[in-house]
Amino acid sequence: MSKKQKRTLCRILASAALLILAALLPLEGWVRLAVFLLPYAVIGWDVLWRAVRNIAHGQIFDENFLMALATVGALWVGEFPEAVFVMLFYQVGELFQSYAVDQSRKSISSLMDIRPDWANLEEDGQLRQVDPEEVSVGDIILVKAGERIPLDGTVTEGASTLDTAALTGESLPRSVQPGDGVVSGCVNLSGLLRVRVTKPFEESTVSKILDLVENSTAKKAKAENFITKFARYYTPAVVLAAAVLALAPPLFLGWEWEDAVTRALNFLVVSCPCALVISVPLSFFGGIGGASKQGILVKGGSYLEVLARTETVVFDKTGTLTKGVFQVTAIHPEQWPEETLLELAALAESYSDHPISRSLKEAYGTPLELERVSDVEELSGRGVRAAVDGKIICAGNDKLMEELGVRWHPCHRVGTTVHVAVDGTYAGHIIISDQVKEDAGQAVAALKALGVKQTVMLTGDAAAVGESVAAGLGLDQVYTQLLPADKVERVEALLGELSPRGSLAFVGDGINDAPVLSRADIGIAMGALGSDAAIEAADVVLMDDKPSKLADAIAIARRTLGIVRQNIVFALGVKALVLILSALGISTMWEAVFADVGVSVIAILNSMRALKTKSAGVQAADAG
């Protein structure tokens, strides 16, 4: 509890004690008013001050004005205990709100702890602690055991395990050794590491995540915007209605002034929109905070709202449902030795960083003689063309061979087939296989348990490869041999099949998926630890490589929206009932207090449930 919250609690306790004492004293008239003014001043001076200050700035119709008007009016008609009690309960509600917001903020701010305070810069054999922003690309930094890695880089010396929990929500440490990349924000658990910096601080993973988290509340959901607009018109309307209720009956119906004013004051207390104005944004804030604890970064409440309505989930294959770690599993030459076919393919792919290109180079094993390669041309979605030793080497998929007019033949092995043509003649093919992620099948099953109507996979691989993976995972549809533009067209077609309120989520690794991520209703980048493209392109970022986190994200979004709806229905229902009873003179100030502060406290406590997250499997069971 903060110092401000502790001071408020002390004021509440002091005012409550003075209220009890004042109620027990047998006093009348002005003396009784003066005694009750003491606990009222202790608990309500700040509300009165804010009301006066806001009126001076032209902001009249807010909750401070309503509380001030209602309680001062209650004092005026002689309801002294009720006036103090209304203000007391209002401050109790404010304390609950403050505590709830702090809890939500802490869950998000736990990510803010990843910001490093310093970097150990190594210069001329000496160590110097500097601000991470002062470190340049190429500098060597030392990261000791127990320290947080301050900048993205590559390990040059040392081996250790890293705690990535603050970024991914996973407790299992990750091992690193020389040559491995490391990202800022992780904690070095054991050995001493020397790291060569590869990005300046402002472009590092930690900096991008901090920027995302700090701005996550900027994009409000429709429900939040509705409540903001609702309060803007609702509050003046109820003040006007209360004024009519206080003046019209005595003037035209012969009511007693005191009775009419009392009903109007009760009406004012009930009408304060605190429960909605506080609880709805707090619910979205809590949902974003709860997701962040699971390593799921949501860029705003509006994305939670869209995610909750997901009907169709479209997956990219490589790096999303599969590990993206390709290995050469077969070499089938037509007229060349296996070693020569692999060498030509590796040389042709030597300038590419695509996972398939890396697997060819790794399989070749020996350092490539790049001076033998020239005129390299990347052919999007098809392969590569290059000159090697004066020969034109084309390496790619079936579409590339057909473009070239080269007669090729399929392979009986399941995997990605890289065909190789030399000077327009078919030279053979190489089979590269990718492994399906361990929890990919579990992820698809969890999505179906949550009621997702359709799961689809898009891939540029051959039909045999894509269909084999899709069948093994239980996906509903698979589309193969797609170019990047084809994926966008396929997503647009799937968007046309949605129900009016349904949404489509596209899940990719964020490397080559930016066009599709932006075209879907909501783009989700998975395995984004260290990937700038993913963090920038997607609406939701899953920081680790587990597809099952997608089901967790949808479950959290749906639970958050459920809590928002509960608060809206409950608050409006109770307020409408007590407003009618107040206008009819049936309810008293005590019922009015419950309808305002009591409903606010209950709604706030309900909103705090959004902070608590469970696995998608448990949530699906709860829903069933």
Q: Is 180 considered catalytic here?
A: no
Instruction: From the candidates 152, 163, 316, 544, give the one annotated as an active-site residue.
Output: 316
460 CB-contact burial (10 Å; exposed 0-12 / middle 13-18 / buried 19+): buried
What pLDDT, on the 0 to 100 scale, is given for residue 620? 44
Confidence of residue 126 (pLDDT cuts 50, 70, 90): confident
Residue spans of beta strands (DSSP E) within 20-112: none
Tell me the pLDDT tens digit for each residue of 224-251.
666 667 667 777 787 788 888 888 888 8
Give residue 405's identity as a one-letter amino acid code.
G
**Averaged pLDDT for residues 562-568:** 89
Please report where in the chains the tokens 């009406």 appear, as a residue: 267
Tell me the pLDDT tens digit for each residue of 518-537.
788 998 888 765 456 656 76
Percentage of the chain modeled with pLDDT above 90:
20
What pLDDT, on the 0 to 100 scale, is given for residue 108? 54
Q: Residue 219 above 80 pLDDT?
A: no
Q: Residue 195 above 80 pLDDT?
A: yes
What pLDDT, on the 0 to 100 scale, is given for residue 174? 81
Cβ-Cβ contacts under 8 Å for 447 (sequence gap 6 or more): 313, 455, 550, 551, 554, 616
Question: pTM for this structure?
Answer: 0.68
Which region among 288-292, 293-297, 529-533 has the lowest average model confidence (pLDDT)?
Answer: 529-533
Q: Residue 266 above 80 pLDDT?
A: no
Q: Give the pair of three-digit tokens for residue 611.
A: 């902070």
Determine the 3-state secondary structure of 336 from DSSP: coil
Confidence of residue 618 (pLDDT cuts 50, 70, 90): very low
What pLDDT, on the 0 to 100 scale, is given for residue 622? 44
Q: Residue 356 above 70 pLDDT?
A: yes
Instruction: Please state the separation of Cα 56 from the chain's center in Å.
Output: 39
What pLDDT, on the 0 to 100 scale, is given for residue 223? 63
**Averaged pLDDT for residues 505-523:** 79
| Whether 468 contacts 461, CB under 8 Å | no
Q: Which of 406, 407, 400 is nearest to 377 (CA)?
A: 400
Q: Residue 169 above 70 pLDDT?
A: no
What pLDDT, on the 0 to 100 scale, is given for residue 155? 93
Residue spans of beta strands (DSSP E) within 248-292: none
Please report where in the chains the tokens 């990219």 appear, as a residue: 316
Q: Residue 612 above 80 pLDDT?
A: no
Tell me the pLDDT tens digit for each residue of 23-57.
888 888 788 888 989 998 998 888 888 888 888 88
